[in-house]
Structure 1
């Protein structure tokens, strides 16, 4: 069988292109602004492709189809929530974030409040979130490589690390932007081409698949309708607001020239995400019909990798499998690169004075803990692990970022209280839900805590800010005007 060699060739091609782009970025990145925000000159179409490239992670590429394999129509809420998160970002965050002129989320909080405590706490949450998010990417690389080639699983994470670090260290944000944009279109092609082949196969081939496809969504997830409704609403809330707390996503909006282009980037991005998510949904439905035995096991994340050879014999099936595997590695590389850039920027700003050397040291430090965590954990389902990260960010960072942008009455003590409360309560609930063996509403409340942790954080933050002795900074109105007034209006005000 040629499949292992073809898969390795496809993965090697993705890695080679990424490295070539990083070498190109080395010649273009010469200033601190190049490394952190690509000199704030990234046009909307390029930035939208880059954001989609880093956002569509292992959970999106392999995990969505795996969820449909496991849960049928209930798995559709993940792509809906992932995409809706950017609608929230478009409405509430994109333009003000760009107008802030910051490099990182801690920079944004420092602009609003001159507090070292709040800045360090924000930095710690950003780094911790990045670490949590990198682990599923490394697990996904292990799954993709071992299931398609039979090679040891540890080689997958090793490949990701050996490609990501040189890419980030050599050219920073400028290199990563171009690489992620290219990787988005490769990922889209890696799913679109197999989808076209499979649809044609089912349309003109064996019609025995048609009845199975019609019944592909028949699944009994839970008997308790109330519990199922709670899980769905809480999950969507976590995914929608969790996006607002993902530093590696937010930092991309600092690279736009101005607030208007940041909004246009988000609109284009919504179309790119919608187009992409259509494909794993279609393939997940087909996989549920063609590979019913897979839905009864814990390996549903491999559904897309197994589907081509289940429908096509010989070289065609092997080539399509290699294409999907290459696209999966593009997902792992692009998301991991964005996360490392985000963590590196924060580490450099906080501990190395914001220098290029500090950025490169931060890139190395960004991978240390995830590497250890990858080899000592067996890993949840990819989408489930990423959903936990979204729940944490939606509960800790996102509410305070929203209030910092939109509420004048926010104080330092209120922001710190909210972040600590949300981070602690969400992690405690998720850990208890993972360790305890129970069912019903009580377990759903622990496993999907966003529906109660997000309101709790908002209430705590606003109460502490309103009832405490501390007052908002004197320059609050000036900072909020900077965040919300269009650049043209501010220039006109200064000229008059």
Structure 2
């Protein structure tokens, strides 16, 4: 009941703060970029609130339990991406005067075709990133209450669509800035409480991992998705209704919704999805997704996707267009790096404690819920209930803040870039976009939030990163080269994702390059863009368009006799 009250407070607060943007919502610029009047401090808080998604609040700790210590490379890549954005992208993007990434593409290369292609890419990236936000909302609500998975998905979708339809970017800015502060507070306080409450034995075990091979006590495991258990020795289990059974040696399929209680001392089955928590491979400070045997390449694959993908995330790039000028955009990026650095000190705390206190989540496929599962394991009384409620509130704040930005850019891609419909069209489009995302999320419960988000980063790194970096810094870029590069990156990354989802299983290094295609899809996109551009000539006016990106607003204003901005 307390967790439901926490969710209700976050949703109600989101709606009330969103109403503040209604009065100032008169034009398309108001809806998409808040009339470019957002200060660096407020904007950096909003960017951080938007960026700290389900993958950050829940996914990193869940991946720590599932894949090991190497999962901490994810926050390294997330934060490093903002350093690259600060140096290469932030100020020039703002100086274009664009409202969206497709606006930038057309302003730089005067190509309506490129504008439409980039709008489609926005929808792909937004979908891959927004679906896990709603999916995680359903998983968290199901984990802390008796409500079904779909209820959390629908609640998140309804709250986001109503807030955006009412107040647009201005409402999103206030909500995201508020929710960043809320998330930071509600992530740090329970982490400190957990460390203090867990006791010296648990803290020692968290710092000195031992492989999870035997259940330390009678342990119920609730399978939220279909699973296959690999049993090495006959293992007795029983169900909550008292029915006893024995899992014989071999493979056993377990249906979603099944609850099995493993007795104290029983051997822990394998899942085939990664190393058991605490083992030597698990404790290695490198990433080996799906246990392919190539940890160095796996680590680089995640770093390339997250660091370069950050520069291409359309909902983050749109945030810099809300700044008054290029200097403010650069200051926003710098402050954001500091804010993210503080937040990312703590996912490892939850992951390390989760390996000791709730390692069975590795079996059930519910590692994304480790953050909200910990307090009740440490303190089954009122203290655990309070902390679970606070973390649930913070988790929902993460889902809603990120979803606001994603639905905003997807609606903009449809109603501003593909089918221009003005302010009314933008407000109306939010609802069907949210509805489609909810429908997709209802089918995505079996996929880790971190995996889906990483795929979103991979598509962004393979499409928008080459377009932006070369479009801002390379005078030889041509329209044909830009279109070729974007399409090459889109087809390469999405093709690999489709094979990973629907194709036959692929093992070894090829399996890694299919599930994590950034190491080859990003260089391929850069190479295709450069090769085609070198075969042609940029338009005569392109140098002036490029120069505009690098001239400070004050310099340009003095040259034209106009006021800056």
TM-score class, shorter-chain normalisation, is over 0.9
- Structure 1 distance, partners of 2:293, 2:16, is 52
Corresponding position of 2:203: 210
Paired residue secondary structure (2:311): helix
1:239 aligns with 2:306: yes
1:19-168 counterparts in 2 under 5 A?
Answer: 19-168=15-164
Paired residue for 1:261, among 324, 328, 351? 328
| Higher alpha-carbon deviation: 444-453 or 86-95 | 444-453
Corresponding position of 1:488: 554
- Structure 2 distance, partners of 1:438, 1:120, is 34
Q: CA deviation at 1:367?
A: 1.8
Taking structure 1 as reference, are residues 230 and 351 closer, same or farther at Cα in structure 2, changes over 3 Å only? Answer: closer
Paired residue for 1:421, among 473, 488, 498? 488
1:400 aligns with 2:467: yes
Q: CA deviation at 1:224?
A: 8.8
Give the structure-2-normalised TM-score: 0.83
- Is contact 2:186-2:391 (8 Å) kept? yes
- Structure 1 distance, partners of 2:82, 2:347, is 19
Paired residue secondary structure (1:292): coil
Paired residue for 1:443, among 496, 503, 511? 511
Cα-to-partner distance string for 1:287-340 (whole Å, 9 max, x where unaligned): 112222223431111101110001113111001001111111111111111011
Paired residue secondary structure (1:28): coil
1:14 aligns with 2:75: no
Q: CA deviation at 1:485?
A: 1.1
Give the structure-1-normalised TM-score: 0.95
Unaligned ranges ≥5, structure 2? 210-277, 283-287
1:295 aligns with 2:295: no
Q: CA deviation at 1:129?
A: 1.4
Paired residue secondary structure (1:265): helix
- Structure 1 distance, partners of 2:418, 2:80, is 35
| Higher alpha-carbon deviation: 24-33 or 65-74 | 24-33
| Higher alpha-carbon deviation: 286-295 or 14-23 | 286-295
| Higher alpha-carbon deviation: 347-356 or 146-155 | 347-356
- Is contact 1:40-1:256 (8 Å) kept? yes
- Structure 2 distance, partners of 1:294, 1:211, is 21
Cα-to-partner distance string for 1:394-420 (whole Å, 9 max, x where unaligned): 112221121111111111111111111
Q: Which consecutive aligned stretches of 4+ in structure 1 deviate over 6 angstroms post-superposition?
A: 223-226
More helix by share: 1
Equivalent pairs, count: 487
Q: CA deviation at 1:354?
A: 5.2
Corresponding position of 1:464: 532
Taking structure 1 as reference, are residues 449 and 41 closer, same or farther at Cα in structure 2, changes over 3 Å only? Answer: same
Corresponding position of 2:265: none
Cα-to-partner distance string for 1:118-170 (whole Å, 9 max, x where unaligned): 11101111122112211101110110100100211111011111111111011
Paired residue secondary structure (2:21): helix
Q: CA deviation at 1:219?
A: 4.1
Taking structure 1 as reference, are residues 200 and 164 closer, same or farther at Cα in structure 2, changes over 3 Å only? Answer: same
- Structure 1 distance, partners of 2:451, 2:170, is 31
- Is contact 1:347-1:358 (8 Å) kept? no
Corresponding position of 1:220: 281
Paired residue secondary structure (1:409): coil
- Structure 1 distance, partners of 2:420, 2:523, is 36
- Is contact 1:85-1:242 (8 Å) kept? yes
Corresponding position of 1:230: 297
Q: CA deviation at 1:194?
A: 0.5
- Is contact 1:131-1:369 (8 Å) kept? no
Q: CA deviation at 1:102?
A: 0.5
Cα-to-partner distance string for 1:57-94 (whole Å, 9 max, x where unaligned): 11111101001111221110111111111111111100
Corresponding position of 1:285: 352
1:177 aligns with 2:173: yes
1:322 aligns with 2:373: no
| Higher alpha-carbon deviation: 417-426 or 207-216 | 207-216
Q: CA deviation at 1:351?
A: 4.5
Corresponding position of 2:250: none
Taking structure 1 as reference, are residues 188 and 407 closer, same or farther at Cα in structure 2, changes over 3 Å only? Answer: same
Paired residue secondary structure (1:25): coil
Unaligned ranges ≥5, structure 1? none
- Structure 1 distance, partners of 2:370, 2:403, is 22
Q: CA RMSD in A?
A: 1.7
- Structure 2 distance, partners of 1:9, 1:474, is 61
Q: CA deviation at 1:479?
A: 1.1
- Structure 2 distance, partners of 1:248, 1:272, is 18
- Structure 2 distance, partners of 1:418, 1:119, is 14
| Higher alpha-carbon deviation: 398-407 or 43-52 | 398-407
- Is contact 1:139-1:157 (8 Å) kept? yes
1:295-444 counterparts in 2 under 5 A?
Answer: 295-353=362-420, 355-434=422-501, 435-444=503-512
More strand by share: 2
